Amino acid sequence: MHFLLRILITAVIAYVLTQIMKGVHMDNFWAAILFAFVLAVVNGFVRPILILFTIPITLLTMGLFLLVINALMILLVDALLDQVTVDNFWWALLFSITLSLMSASVQSWIQQQDKK
């Protein structure tokens, strides 16, 4: 159940962000749900492998290279889905940072509400 809730939260935030950001486009809300699901799968399987191979540069940049990996995951999902378009790397970077911050905030708020 938590997985589906996280997918839905990510989809809603991603769809709202595409309405604000000019460089990221999604056809409709169903595309956002598909985007969130594919992003979760890619983050579960591909991202750990990339992190493992880039440990030296990640350590050298004190973890900032992980932002680049997040942007690459967005671009990979863009390449896999026709309904999602990201104009360039910089839009993917901005989108990934914003999506991560907003998703973490909403999920943290939900967890706090569950504890009450």
Written as six digits, the tokens of 106 are 């909403």
**Residue 44 counted as domain residue:** yes
**Residue 112 counted as domain residue:** no
pLDDT of residue 38: 98
In a 13 Å sphere around the CA of 111, the CA atoms on its Cβ side amount to: 8
**Rg of the Cα atoms in the chain:** 14
pLDDT of residue 116: 74
**Residue 88 counted as domain residue:** yes
**Residue 109 counted as domain residue:** no
pLDDT of residue 94: 98
User: What does 37-61 look like in DSSP terms, one character per residue?
Assistant: HHHHHHHHHHHHHHHHHTHHHHHHT
- Containing H/E element for 84? strand 84-86
Q: For residue 27, what is the DSSP state? A: S
pLDDT of residue 77: 98
Is 0.85 topped by the overall pTM? yes
Residue 6 belongs to domain spanning: 2-101
Q: At what angle do helices 65-80 and 89-115 cross, to 10 degrees?
A: 100
Total structural domains within the chain: 1
**Residue 108 counted as domain residue:** no
**Residue 94 counted as domain residue:** yes
**Residue 110 counted as domain residue:** no
pLDDT of residue 115: 82
Tens-binned pLDDT, residue by residue, of the chain (116 aa): 689 999 999 999 999 999 999 999 999 999 999 999 999 999 999 999 999 999 999 999 999 999 999 999 999 999 999 999 999 999 999 999 999 999 999 999 988 988 87
Alpha helix locations (H) across 1-116? 2-20, 29-53, 55-60, 65-80, 89-115
**Residue 107 counted as domain residue:** no
